[in-house]
Amino acid sequence: MSPMRSAMIAAIGIGALATLAGCGDLDLWARYRAERGFWQARRRLRAIEIEPRLAAAGDYARAAAAFRAVADAYPAAVWTDPAHLARPVARDVALLSGRAAVAAARVRESHGETAAALAGYRDAETAFAAVPEVVLDARLARAAALDRAGRGDEATVVRIAIAREGAIVDADGTPNADVLAAPLRVARNFAARGLTAAADSTLRATEAHDLQSLAALHGAAAVAVWERLAGVRTAGHRTGAAIAALRGAVGALAPEDGRARADLVLRMADCGVSGGLPDSALAYARWAESAFDRRTRAAAMVLEARAFETLDRPDSALAAWARLLDDFPAVVGVSSNARFRRGRLYEDLGRWEQARGEYRTLIASDPTHPLAFTGLQRIVAWHVRHGEQALARIEGQRGIESLDQLIATHRDEDVQHRARTARAEVLMTMEDWPAACLSLGDLWNRYGDGGAGLRAAEVAESRLHDTERARRLYRDIADRADDAERRSARDALARLEGAHGP
């Protein structure tokens, strides 16, 4: 081939490539690069989340900078204009950019830079005002951050905005759980602050809004709104109406949605038990027991037994728990709960031998279950309450030995924590003050349990009369614990220093 011909072919090829480069989808290219940047930033964050204790300050800064780089590369001023948002792929870029901005703020918050994070959330909300998904993300993050910073009032204001302006249903028809939950959280917050009228008003407004929107909804969205309506009515202590709402949710389900139907029937039974309608609870529990799968049956039998307890029919409750044990003997969580409830019922009926038998069987069959620890404490406490100090000491020693063995043989952090907590409680019940103080102090040192630390200090002060030890504990708690415990420790220190001098 002649050089001239080769050069012509090369020129045609380059020209064709250049033309193609202009023909390509620039939005797709932008989205690809934004997704790649976001993915890489998330990888940095995941590396921190795997072991946060090993993460350095630089790691957080780099992760935040990686997210920030995505947001800066695709600025809101450009990508949220109507022309861009009208194109689906360009809209994805705006969404990624906004989410990156929120993620960058989240990283800063996880590193303790709360003020900077809150500012970042506010900026993202403002800059991406035309992208509702980003606005919702930013608001949810800001509300949660404000809660964590102890600024609940401001968090409530943000949640009111979410409830008012957030879309219940996403663009693809999926119910938005955070938007649905927002009004209930607002009402709960008002109620916790004693603002009953505001809480009631929020619940009423949400109920009216839901009833109105249900007319136009179907499928998963309708089910979600019926369920929220049930939650609103439960929060307003209207159990019958809440159950009616759950029946509405069942009606909105697709015929093949057996799992969801079973869960809703169980919820109706649970609603009846918690809301003081045990007869209704029994009816729904029996329906759930007969009409669905084995897993639902177990949960239904638990609700049936609880309904009998609420109806103050202990013998029927005992029989129901016994039936559960017969049908599900090997399902550890279920049988442990059943044994503990039988123990409590026997205890309330004054049948201590049978109660103790149930607790001992529970401890033997599932020693690491939380209720096993509670059962052990109840055995010791019963003897103390009935003046049987010697038996209390024997049972207490036996319990301590088994707890020590658990602590020595189990590597699971949760099991160790529960065992150590139970140990401290048993020692407190036995009034073994030196050992109890040591145990409670150990909980504070190991797990940062401020409550246990305060109790250790109280025992040191009031039972052991060891003021110096009490002061040391209070000082430590005042330095390292959470706000409420820190305040209590400071007050106690001030009291001690007032009484005994610095």
Partner 1 sequence: MNPIEQIALAWQCLKHAAAQLLRPSLWAPWLVLGAVEVAVVLALAGFAHPALSPIVVPFLLRAGGEAALHYPTVFRMLPALFARADLVIGALLGSIVTGVSTALFAVRYAAVPAPRDLLHRALARAPALVIVSLPVALATLVLTAGLARWAGDDATPIVRAAGGIAALGIALVVQAWFVFGVPYIVLAGRGWLAALAGLPRAAGRAMVGALFLSIVAVVPSLPFQQLARMSDTIVSRGRPEMMTWVTLAGIAASLLGAFLLTGGATLLFQTAVAEPDDDAEETA
Query: Which residues would be at the binding site for partner 1 (CB under 8 A)?
Result: 17, 20-26, 28-29, 31-33, 35-36, 39
Least Å from the CB of residue 98 to partner 1? 17
DSSP designation for 169? B
- Specify which residues 169 forms β-bridges with: 175
Q: Least Å distance between CB 33 and partner 1?
A: 8
Nearest distance, CB of residue 76 and partner 1, angstroms: 21
Q: Which is nearer to partner 1, 42 or 238 (CB)?
A: 42
Q: Using the structure block, give the residue that is written with the tokens 């205890």.
A: 347
Closest CA to 395 of 406, 384, 408: 384
The tokens describing 192, both together, are 């916790």
Closer Cβ to partner 1, 4 or 20, answer by number: 20
- Dihedral sign of CA atoms 99, 101, 107, 109 in order: negative
Measured CA angle at 431 (ends 428, 432), to 5 deg: 90
Task: CB nearer to partner 1: give 38 or 308.
Answer: 38
The CB-side HSE value for 358 (13 A sphere, CA atoms) comes to 25
Shortest CB 89 distance to partner 1, Å: 8
Beta bridge partners of residue 175, listed in sequence order: 169
The nearer residue to partner 1, 36 or 218, going by C-beta atoms, is 36
d(CA 132, CA 116): 22
The least distance separating partner 1 from the CB of residue 20, rounded to whole angstroms, comes to 5
How large is the C-alpha radius of gyration of the chain? 30
Q: Where are the alpha helices (DSSP H) in 24-87?
A: 26-50, 57-73, 76-79, 82-85
Report the C-alpha gap between 140 and 333 in whole angstroms. 34
The two three-digit tokens of residue 73, written as one number? 């590369």
Nearer to partner 1, 22 or 501 (CB): 22
Query: Are the beta carbons of 31 and 96 closer than 8 angstroms?
Result: yes
CB of 265 to partner 1, least distance (A): 28
Q: Which is nearer to partner 1, 31 or 471 (CB)?
A: 31
Comparison of 93 and 372: residue with beta carbon closer to partner 1: 93
Instruction: Using the minimum distance from each CB to partner 1, give the nearer residue, 40 or 374.
Output: 40
Shortest Å, Cβ 294 to partner 1: 20
> Token digits for 111?
């590193």
- CA 161, CA 172: separation in Å to the nearest integer? 22
For the CB of residue 21, give the shortest distance to partner 1 in the complex, in Å. 4
